Every structure is written in C-alpha cells, then in structure tokens.
C-alpha cells in the first residue's frame, strides 16, 4: 500500500455512483423523508481484528449517506498482497458494527471451514458497498 497507514485504517473510498430514489421515504418514526438515495462504491484498507475504522473517515457520511436504511458489503479481496479471492470452502463475509457511537467493519475470510477466521492484521482488504439511505449532501431543512 503506497502510503503510511496503521492497521485498521481505510485508505481509499471510491464512490462509483449515486441514484436519487424518486418519491418520498420515511424514517423509523414514519416521518416523510425526501432525500433517499442508492449509493455504491469501494473501500480499501488495512485490516485489524478490532475492525476497519470507518469512524476515522466520518462514519456512514464517508459512504455518502447520513443514515443507512439498508447496507450490503461484499469482500472482493483479502490477503497480505490484497489479491486473495474466495475459494470453495473459504468464502468472505463482512458486516458493519453500527452503534450510535461506532462504525466499524469486520470481515471473516474463511467462511465454510470448521473454524472461520478473520483476515490477519495488515491484510489489504477491498470491500464493495451498496447502501440505501438519506443523502448526506441533502439540505438540512428544519
């Protein structure tokens, strides 16, 4: 990786596109929200077992939404050189730990074995994301 980075750092977030969803949506309280979008892109970083630190990049806002209604993460590559792909009994799985204070991404890279494990610290991780949520660039009308 061509930059100084600590394990757990996200080095790159590439937004490939966003699409405004026509019509109003709602929040969990049923209030109408008119700024729903689909956003998708790619995250690269150095893994650490305490999770990829999305907080350090602004949390969900770094992915282009202020609130995520739905999100999906798929892991493209893991490994020391960032080129390892899934094989027959070593599939990848990623999830987002999203609390009111923390946004961390965790990965398992040996799903299908009897003892699934995380990537090693400093493994180069590439994850694609797809999110439906509220546009982070929408005006905040109060």
Partner 1 sequence: MASGDITAVKVLYSQSLGGGQDENGVKKNTKRLVCGEITATYLDAGIAVNKLGGANAFGVDNLDFLKLQVIRLNTTYPDAEALPIANYDVTNQKIFIVADEGAGTPANPNVDVTCIIRFLACGDDADAPELT
Residues of this chain that interact with partner 1 (CB under 8 A) are: 14-19, 38, 40-42, 72, 74-77, 83, 85-89, 91-93, 111-114, 128-130
Considering beta carbons, is residue 80 or 102 the nearer one to partner 1?
80
> Least distance (Å) from partner 1 to the CB of residue 115?
10
Using DSSP bridges, classify how beta strands 10-20 and 91-98 pair: parallel, antiparallel or unpaired. Answer: unpaired
Considering beta carbons, is residue 80 or 89 the nearer one to partner 1?
89
Locate tokens 């995250």: which residue? 43
- Tell which residue, 46, 44, 39, has the closest CA to residue 61: 39
**Is-contact 108 89, C-beta < 8 A?**
no
> Least distance (Å) from partner 1 to the CB of residue 95?
13
Considering beta carbons, is residue 40 or 47 the nearer one to partner 1?
40
> Least distance (Å) from partner 1 to the CB of residue 89?
6
Burial class (CB in 10 A: 0-12, 13-18, 19+), 120: middle
Considering beta carbons, is residue 38 or 138 the nearer one to partner 1?
38
- CA–CA distance, 58 with 63 (Å, rounded to integer): 9
């Amino acid at each position: 990786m061509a930059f100084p980075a600590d394990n757990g750092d996200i080095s790159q977030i590439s937004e490939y596109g966003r699409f405004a969803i026509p019509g109003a949506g709602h929040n969990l309280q049923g209030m109408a929200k008119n700024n729903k979008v689909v956003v998708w892109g790619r995250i690269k970083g150095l893994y650490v077992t305490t999770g990829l630190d999305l907080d350090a990049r602004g949390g969900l806002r770094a992915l282009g939404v202020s609130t995520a209604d739905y999100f999906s993460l798929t892991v493209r590559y893991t490994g020391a050189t960032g080129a390892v792909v899934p094989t027959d009994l070593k599939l990848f799985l990623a999830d987002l730990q999203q609390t009111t204070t923390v946004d961390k991404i965790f990965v398992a890279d040996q799903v299908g074995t009897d003892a699934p494990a995380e990537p090693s610290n400093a493994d180069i991780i590439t994850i694609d994301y797809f999110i439906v949520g509220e546009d982070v660039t929408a005006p905040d009308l109060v």
